């Protein structure tokens, strides 16, 4: 009987989620209820490009990480962002694939969608897997 393995994309998502969780951050795979206290991390959107050969699959995954924090806590937000970037750079493999860190971008935005101003950090990290 064949065993269904998690997709490489899901394995990358899980590795990034676990890295955030192990840093001690409240980490979600969805935007939590508005009552959730700040700061928190939301492992969000993902873009995938994969190729299959006769014997293996390889490709790239771009994972977006969102960090929400109180408006007056910029230093804490940027520290969280830096720590998450360091952990992403350290990721070398998942359960079944090797990872190579390729690129990372980040930005800090002002978010007024909740009626109170928030800081919204966005990290986009790209991995190659094989």
| CA–CA distance, 72 with 2 (Å, rounded to integer) | 53
35-50 mean pLDDT: 95
Banded pLDDT at 1 (limits 50, 70, 90): low
Measured N-to-C along each axis, helices 74-90 and 8-22 cross at an angle, to the nearest 10 degrees, of 130
CATH of domain 8-99+119-129: 3.30.2000.30
At 68 the pLDDT is 97
At 50 the pLDDT is 87
Tell me the pTM: 0.93
Tens of pLDDT, residue by residue over 4-24, are 788 999 999 999 999 999 999
């Amino acid at each position: 009987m064949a065993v269904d393995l998690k997709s490489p994309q899901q394995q990358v998502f899980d590795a990034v989620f676990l890295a955030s969780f192990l840093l001690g951050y409240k980490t979600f795979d969805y935007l939590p209820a508005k009552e959730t206290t700040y700061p928190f991390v939301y492992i969000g959107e993902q873009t995938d490009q994969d190729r299959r050969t006769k014997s293996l699959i390889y490709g790239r995954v771009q994972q977006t990480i969102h960090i929400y924090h109180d408006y007056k806590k910029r230093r804490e937000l940027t520290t969280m962002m830096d720590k998450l970037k360091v952990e992403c750079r350290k990721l070398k493999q998942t359960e079944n694939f090797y990872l190579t860190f390729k690129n990372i971008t980040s930005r800090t935005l002002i978010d007024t969608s909740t009626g109170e101003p928030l800081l919204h950090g966005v990290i986009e990290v790209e991995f190659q897997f094989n």
